[in-house]
Amino acid sequence: MNFVEKVDDRVRIQRVLVSVYDKAGLDAFVPQLLRINPELTLYSTGGTHRAIADMLGTRRADRLVAVSEYTGQPEMQGGLVKTLDFKVYLGLLSETYNEDHRRDLERTGAVPFDMVVVNLYPFRSTIMRADATPERARANIDIGGPCMIRAAAKNFLRVAAVVDPVDYGAVIEELEQNDGGLSLDTRFRLARKTFAYTAEYDTTIAAYLGTCRPEKVRDSYREVLP
C-alpha cells in the first residue's frame, strides 16, 4: 500500500472530468472555469459532452475532449461503459510525487485529472414514480459515476470531487481567489461529502431491492427463459 508523506496544499485545476446526469448550473460553471484558466481542458462523455459543446461553441471547442477519444475506446451501447478505463483511473488515482505513477502516466499517454464533476443516475426519483419496476430501478443504478467519484475522493491529495451543483459557486470563488487553485482543506471537505453521497446512494439501492419479492422481479420482464 502507498502511504503518502508529501502533498501540495493548493492544486491548480487544469484538467476536469465532467459527466453529470443533473446538468443544473453547468451552463454557468463551465464558462467560469475557462474564464479563470483559459488553458483548462474538459474531458466529458455522452450527453454531458454534447451539452458542453453547445455551451462552448466553435470558439472554445479546442478545450473539450471526448472521453472515448482520450481512451481510444467507444462507449458501450446505451452508455453502459464510458469511463471504466485504465487511463481514466490512472488520471484519478496517480499521486503527484510518486515516480512510478509518473512513469505509468507517460507509458500510457494518460493525464492527471485535477477535478471530477459527476452526479449520478436518479435512482431515488425513479423508484418513487408510480410506474416504478425492478427493471426500471436496475437500469438507473449508476456504475461508472460512483467509481469515478470514489477514486477522486480517495485521492483528495490532489483531486477535487464535486458531486453537488450547490458547490459550484464556492469552487469558483476559491479558484478566483487562488489563481485557479483549490486547497487541501477544500479537497478534503469535498471528499467527505462524496463518500456520504455514495453511501446514501448505495443504501437507497439496497433498501429498495430488499423490498422486492422475486415474483415482482420476474414480472418486470416479458420473458424469463428457462
Residue 79 to residue 167: CA distance in whole angstroms: 26
Q: What is the pTM of this model?
A: 0.94
pLDDT of amino acid 162: 98
Over the chain (226 residues), what is each successive 10-residue block's mean pLDDT? 93 97 96 97 94 90 94 76 88 96 96 97 94 94 95 98 98 98 98 98 97 92 91
45-91, pLDDT tens digit by residue? 989 999 999 999 887 889 999 999 999 987 776 666 777 899 999 99
38 three-state secondary structure? coil
pLDDT of amino acid 79: 66
pLDDT of amino acid 217: 94
Q: Which of 88, 9, 77, 8 minimizes the C-alpha distance to 44?
A: 88
Contacts of 78 (CB under 8 A, 6+ apart): none
pLDDT of amino acid 83: 79
Q: Which of 165, 136, 160, 137 minimizes the C-alpha distance to 149?
A: 160
pLDDT of amino acid 29: 98
Residue 133 to residue 17: CA distance in whole angstroms: 32
- Domains in the chain (CATH in brackets) are 11-218 (3.40.50.1380)
Residue 96 to residue 137: CA distance in whole angstroms: 39
